[in-house]
Amino acid sequence: MSEIKASKDELLRITGPASLIIEEGKALILGAEYEKGDRIVVRRTRTLCMKVLEDLYMRGIIGEGGKLERPAPSDEVVDNWMELSELIVSAESKPTIILVVGPVESGKTSFSITLANTSYYKMMKTYVVDGDVGQTDIGCPGFVSASRVNSRILYLSDLKPEIMRFVGYISPMPNPTAVSSAIYDITNNVVTAGAEIVIINTDGWLNSLESIMAKIGLVKLVKPDYVITLLPEDYTWVYNSLKRKLQGYCGRIIRAKSPAIKRVRSRAERKILREQAYTRMLANANIVKLSLNEVSFINTRLFTGNPLSRSEIEEISRKCNIKVVYCEVAGNHAIIIVDDTDLINEGRKEKLKEVLKCNMVEVRRKGWEKGLLLAVLDENLNDASPGMLKEIRWDSGEIIVKTSYTGKITAIAVGCIKLREEKENIIEERKFRGVPL
The 10s digit of each residue's pLDDT in 188-211 is 999 999 999 999 999 999 988 999
Q: Answer whether residue 23 shows pLDDT above 60.
A: yes
Same domain, 197 and 302: no
Closest Cα to residue 169, out of 424, 375, 422, 410?
A: 375
Domain count, the chain: 3
Q: To the nearest whole number, what is the mean pLDDT of the chain? A: 92
pLDDT attached to residue 264: 72
What's residue 436's pLDDT? 61
Do 172 and 135 sit in the same domain of this protein? yes
Say whether both 86 and 45 belong to one domain: no
Q: What is the mean pLDDT of residues 420-425?
A: 78
Does 355 score more than 70 pLDDT? yes
pLDDT at 192: 96
- Residue 106: which CATH number? 3.40.50.300
Residue 417 belongs to domain with CATH number: 3.30.300.20
Domain around 112: 78-265
Does the structure show a pLDDT above 60 at 219? yes
User: Which of 41-45, 186-190, 263-267, 349-353 is predicted most confidently?
Assistant: 186-190
Spatial separation of the C-alpha atoms in residues 417 and 435, rounded to whole Å: 9
Residue 137 has pLDDT above 90, yes or no: yes
Identify the pLDDT of residue 434. Answer: 53
> Is the pLDDT confidence value at 342 over 80?
no
pTM, whole model, 2 decimals?
A: 0.92
Structural domain contains residue 272: no
Q: Residues 305-321: what's their mean pLDDT?
A: 93
* DSSP-assigned letter for residue 224: -
Is the same domain home to 151 and 178? yes
Residue 273 in any domain: the answer is: no
Q: Within this chain, do residues 68 and 90 fall inside the same structural domain, yes or no?
A: no
Predicted local confidence at residue 435, as pLDDT: 57
- 251 pLDDT above the threshold of 90: no
pLDDT of residue 375 exceeding 70, the answer is: yes
For residues 30 and 259, give the distance between their C-alpha atoms in angstroms, rounded to a whole number: 13
Confidence of residue 74 (pLDDT cuts 50, 70, 90): confident
For residue 277, being part of any structural domain is answered with no
Q: Do both 236 and 319 map to the same domain?
A: no
Instruction: Please tell me whether residues 252 and 395 are part of one structural domain.
Output: no
Q: Does residue 16 lie in a domain region? A: yes
20 and 141, same domain (yes or no): no
Lowest average pLDDT, out of 91-95, 116-120, 333-337, goes to: 91-95
Residues 314 and 195 reside in one and the same domain: no
Cis peptide bond N-terminal to 95, omega within 30: yes
Query: Residue 431 pLDDT > 70, yes or no?
Result: no
Q: How far is CA 143 from CA 74, 82, 232, 384, 387, in A?
A: 37, 30, 28, 11, 11
Whole-angstrom distance, CA of residue 137 vs CA of residue 265:
14
Same domain, 342 and 247: no
Note whether 343 and 388 are same-domain residues.
Answer: yes
Query: For the segment 276-301, what is each residue's pLDDT rounded down to a tens digit?
Result: 888 888 888 999 999 988 999 988 88
243/198 same-domain check: yes
Q: How many CB atoms lie within 10 A of CB 390?
A: 17
Residue 380 in domain:
yes
| Confidence grade of residue 437 (pLDDT, cut at 50, 70, 90) | low
Domain CATH code at residue 56: 2.60.120.1030
Question: What pLDDT shows up at residue 433?
Answer: 56
Per-residue pLDDT at 155 exceeds 90: yes
